[in-house]
Amino acid sequence: MSFTPEQTNILSQCFLFRGASLSPAVWAILEQCPVRQYHRGEVIYSRQQFQRAVGILLSGGADILKGHGVVLNTLGPGDSFGVAGLFTQNKHYVSTVSANRPTCVLLLTGQHLQELFAADGTIALRYIGFLSDRICFLNRKLDSFTASSAEARIALYLLEQAQGNRVQISGGYAGLSRQLGIGRASLYRCLDSLEATGILARQDREILLLDLDRLADIAG
């Protein structure tokens, strides 16, 4: 397919191509990749039904779910999924990917990726770097789920998600409650306590971190 200027810009935000000047050869490979449309609530990947391909969102959004609907991550245009399951013999995908609104996805198969690696070696390096970052990310997730208290889980999450000293709660506090496996009442109680002691301040769906050192102490 031929990409619109908006889709071209979104693809340039994907981890594989970010900050790069893509050659005509790379664009020619991308134009050969299949594109799929999904309705809101439609499962894109599940443990039993998935393609061995990296999905890149061209529009819309998707949730990464684990277990009984626990939201691990929320994706938007330019984000990707399916990286870890591509070059493996595992017959099951590691999680469920579900569209949270009408969504368009570009699929990069293993063959497409190998062609991209051959066309531009820096794309291969970005792929390796992404996998390394995911290992670190999942280790931090494990820390948050095994934290000794609800307050420690929240502190770990805030430190992990902080952009500077701000955290955007894009899925709302109800979504954060599900993501952390903490009841909504407990979540609000912990946030109220952290706010009362001057560690953070809430502004609608944004949390301002006022004392990173004390927050790190709580996280352990």
Q: Where do we find the tokens 């609000």?
A: 188
Q: What is the pLDDT of residues 116-129, one digit of tens each?
A: 999 999 999 999 88
- For the chain, state the CA radius of gyration: 19
For residue 44, what pLDDT is reported? 94
Per-residue pLDDT at 182 exceeds 70: yes
For residue 156, what pLDDT is reported? 83
User: In terms of Cα–Cα distance, which of 11, 1, 21 is closest to 119?
Assistant: 21
Structure tokens at 114: 């190998």
Mean pLDDT of 147-156: 79
Question: What gap in Å lies between CA 92 and CA 88, rounded to an integer?
Answer: 10
What is the chain's mean pLDDT, rounded?
87
Per-residue pLDDT at 95 exceeds 90: no
> Contact at 8 Å (CB) between 56 and 14?
yes
Question: What gap in Å lies between CA 116 and CA 125, rounded to an integer?
Answer: 11
User: In terms of Cα–Cα distance, which of 155, 203, 206, 216 is closest to 182?
Assistant: 155
Instruction: Please report how many Cα atoms fall inside a 13 Å half-sphere around the Cα of residue 104, on the Cβ side.
Output: 13
User: In terms of Cα–Cα distance, which of 107, 119, 103 is closest to 20?
Assistant: 119
Per domain, the residue ranges of the chain are 5-142, 148-219
The DSSP output letter for 189 is H
CATH of segment(s) 5-142: 2.60.120.10
Q: What is the pLDDT of residues 19-77, one digit of tens each?
A: 778 899 999 999 999 999 999 999 999 888 888 899 999 999 999 887 667 787 899 99
Give 2's pLDDT tier (boundaries 50, 70, 90).
Answer: confident
For residue 4, what pLDDT is reported? 92
**Which of 3.20.20.60, 1.10.10.10, 3.40.50.1860, 3.40.50.720 would CATH assign to domain 148-219?**
1.10.10.10
For residue 92, what pLDDT is reported? 77
Burial of 2 (0-12, 13-18, 19+ CB in 10 A): exposed
Question: What gap in Å lies between CA 82 and CA 95, rounded to an integer?
Answer: 9
Question: What gap in Å lies between CA 69 and CA 46, rounded to an integer?
Answer: 12
For residue 167, what pLDDT is reported? 92
- DSSP SS3 for 4: coil
Question: What gap in Å lies between CA 216 and CA 220, rounded to an integer?
Answer: 6
- DSSP SS3 for 113: helix
State the pTM of this model: 0.64
For residue 134, what pLDDT is reported? 75
Question: What gap in Å lies between CA 178 and CA 71, rounded to an integer?
Answer: 7
Structure tokens at 7: 């889709």
